[in-house]
Structure 1
Amino acid sequence: MEEPERPDLKPVSSGPPTVSSDVSQDPNKSGNAEPHPKPQIPLWSTAADEELLYAKKEIANAPLVFGEPDLYAPLFRNVSVFKRSYELMERLLKVFIYHDGAKPIFHSPELKGIYASEGWFMKLMEADRNFVVRDPNRAHLFYLPYSARQLEHNLYVPGSNTLDPLSIFVKNYIDMISAKFPHWNRTKGADHFFVACHDWGPYTTKLHDELRKNTIKALCNADVSEGVFIRGRDVSLPETYLKSARRPVRDIGGKPAAERSILAFFAGQMHGRVRPVLLKHWGGKDADMRIYTRIPRQITRRMNYAKHMKSSKYCICPMGYEVNSPRIVEAIYYECVPVIIADNFVLPFDDALDWTAFSVVVAEKDVPRLKEILLAIPESRYVTMRSNVKKVQRHFLWHAKPVKYDIFHMILHSVWFSRVNQVHQVEQH
């Protein structure tokens, strides 16, 4: 498949559908500013709070790691901090999953396509025996198991250009949870989280202030300019395009660095603000820059979309309607260095991974200079980045039965790490 598109998402305007509330008055929305998370003081303390405070101190004093065989240090911002945090997560973390809510919106994972991240996380979280507990009094985190994709599929009225039905549904669900259980009210939702890869995930929170401001939102649409995603609290969720539910990872890998004859490659539809500019400057104008809306038939007979990625040094990953793109992880799967073009995008697992080690980030304004930027990268630097792409791949792979440090555990770790940091702030408040 050449272009993992969103065929059911064709906004009437250039942006997402609207909600009736006046989001322009949102005090958090001020250009590219990133509002600092405000701590929520719990109404009462629990043993879980004390364990989180203990974990925070342990992480702050993490012993230095040298020559760790199971983790490749150059991929991480601080491998010692990550290792200690991950160990404590494995030992301490307990998650309570609400059983309320009927299918298909709740407990119905979608395991194929571009929204597979939210579906696979739901499937694996609900089947987990290591972290999930039945007693909510033991929980450090509370998972809200609804699907943003299913919200869109079941509640959005095509052509209406409004997300009101989705936002109202989510608001009513949170109101029900907070009225039925004491856990939401104890922290005003600060120890709750949800996982949404659908582009509209952030916008469905706007009618519930505590959900929008306090919860940990694991979102593919991790755009700090819109006043919903909050760096330091929320989690950037990798968008993974999966073709098969039975075999979530297949056909990965690519040619070694020396055999990649194409400098840069992109093929896809021209929606959003970046892709038309990319096509204007590079489409059909330079043999080194293989930029297409659709790969010509005479070329696909010899080299299809996947083979292009496997034969390219750099895979261009421009934003579409929103900042996120499944091509980033797709490039990692095919061992092609991702070139990310999306201003204001917080990259997945940004709390742990050092993306400069295995990717290139290009400002949207620099698209006309794209070839110049890529050619300025020394060959030795490219070879190192390409090697690092192969090494980081394990952290983006789904498995029917999760394995250590895979994408399921990385997502959960990012949520855990965020919650630990927020408890630290509460302690100092």
Structure 2
Amino acid sequence: MANPFFSLLLFLSLFPTPSLQSKPLPDLTSPYLSPSTIFPNFQKMLRTFKIFTYEPPKDFTFNTPAESLFYSSLLNGPFATQNPNEAHLFLVPFPSDLSTRSISRFIRDFRTEHPYWNRTLGADHFYISCAGLGYESDRNLVELKKNSVQISCFPTPHGKFIPHKDITLPPLNPSPLAPPQAPPNNRSSRYLGYFKSNGQVGLLNQLNGDPEFMIESEPSDELTYAERLEGSQFCLFLYGGDVSGIGEALRFGCVPAVITDCPIQDLPFMDVLVWSEIAVFVGRGGGAEELKGVLRRTCGDKYERMRALGVTASQHFVWNASPQSYDAFHTVLYQLWLRRHTIRYARREWS
């Protein structure tokens, strides 16, 4: 008589255990979360995506250049439609200084005049607010905050960003540099780390005088700044501080090292890029020695790959007065396009 234990083992061996099956390795030659789908999907977005913009409550301008450039590019580009019935998403435009009471009144007015908000309770709508909106008890503001996509600026103030729903605009550098003269892997680095700071902050005080680091308030000119980026392995950024140069750091092959006390949930293009492959994240608690240790451990074969992938990803951080494919404007739109499918809620009356 067969041993029932061995019979059971033979039976189980015919069915692979899911947790033990080999998982596909990430594509380390690409900085993208979905390298096989992003480009065909991007082309489909360019052909089909339509956005309807409600009439704003008054003439206005945004507080930041990135907001203004995104808004004007959208209104003047091929994605804008005057026919709400063909729109995938709806933009709710309001000035940055509009009070929450006025925003609530604005939403109340167009939800009674148009049917589109009530079909999804605002889930196929989005708004632009660099500082982000907080939580309010008003019914209109609750639906706007919880259901609609918020486009804010990176980094967003604490508590005003909902991961997996909201989007951040990449920083707009007012003085973009000329492209680097040589590929990043064909040059030697003079510094382990470079940090441009308008004031000494925390652990960076401990790096003053360290020959492996260049810390300065402002380079003397653009050429010097480009040389700093090209001559440094890592560019340091404080999360919550000035991150305007992060796109140019990537473009010049200077791997961003973001110093933060907590996990970052509002990085630009989190639906598109594998940030762990193009940047390093370091805590403040261990001081300068921990920072230097993390950077040194990242050097080597992995570092050269990160550098190359960062250069590839940098095209998405470029803002153009006239938008071009795969630039910052179009990549933000691509994230909106990924959110175009929404649940159509049944309309219900509120007491």
Same fold (TM over 0.5): yes
2:111 counterpart (178, 195, 198): 178
What are the residue-to-residue correspondences of 1:97-136 with 2, within 5 Å? 97-104=53-60, 108=61, 115-129=64-78, 131-136=79-84
Gap runs ≥5 in structure 1: 1-66, 152-164, 244-248
Distance 1:301 1:325, change over 3 A: closer
Q: Match for residue 290 of structure 1?
A: 214
2:31 and 2:278 in contact (8 A); partners too: yes
What is the letter of the counterpart of residue 126 of structure 1?
Answer: L
Of 363, 373, 389, 2:310 maps to 389
Q: Residues 173 and 306 from structure 1, CA distance in 2 versus in 1: closer, same or farther, beyond 3 angstroms?
A: farther
Local SS of the residue matching 2:285: helix
1:10 aligned partner: none
Instruction: Note closer, same or farther for the CA distance 1:102–1:328 as it changes in structure 2 (3 Å cut).
Output: same
3-state SS of paired residue (1:315): strand
Change (3 A) 1:210 1:138: same
Larger Rg: 2
Give the TM-score, by structure 1 length: 0.65
- In the TM superposition, what is the alpha-carbon distance from 1:300 to its structure 2 partner? 4.1
Structure 1 position 373, deviation (Å): 0.7
Structure 2 segments unaligned to the other structure (5+ residues): 1-26, 347-351
Counterpart in the other structure of 1:46: none
CA RMSD of aligned residues (A): 3.1
Identity between Structure 1 and Structure 2 (%) = 27
Q: For the residues of structure 1 that align with 2:311 and 2:222, how far apart are their CA atoms?
A: 25
Does structure 2 retain, via aligned residues, the 8 Å contact 1:315–1:339?
yes
Q: Which amino acid aligns with 2:194?
A: F
Alignment correspondent of 1:409: 330
2:151, 2:58 → 1: CA distance?
22
8 Å contact 1:396–1:407 — kept in the other structure?
yes
CA drift of 1:215 comes to 0.5
Matched residues, number: 313
| CA-CA distance at 1:395 after TM superposition | 1.5
Quote the offset at 1:250 in angstroms: 4.4
Q: TM-score scaled to structure 2, two decimals? A: 0.78
Provide the rounded CA distance (Å) in 2 between the counterparts of 1:95 and 1:75. 28
The aligned residue for residue 204 of structure 2 is: 279
- Distance in 2, matches of 1:339 and 1:239, equals 16
- 2:216 equivalent to 1:259: no
Indicate the residue corresponding to 2:258 in structure 1: 340
Asked whether the 8 Å contact 1:328–1:340 carries over to 2, the reply is no
Return the alpha-carbon distance in structure 1 between the equivalents of residues 227 and 299 of structure 2: 24
2:292 is equivalent to residue 360 of structure 1: no
Q: CA deviation at 1:132?
A: 1.6
User: How far apart are residue 116 of structure 1 and its match?
Assistant: 2.4
Distance in 1 (alpha carbons) for counterparts of 2:137 and 2:71 = 22
Flag the structure with more relative contact order, 1 or 2, with Cα contacts below 8 A and sequence separation at least 6.
Answer: 1
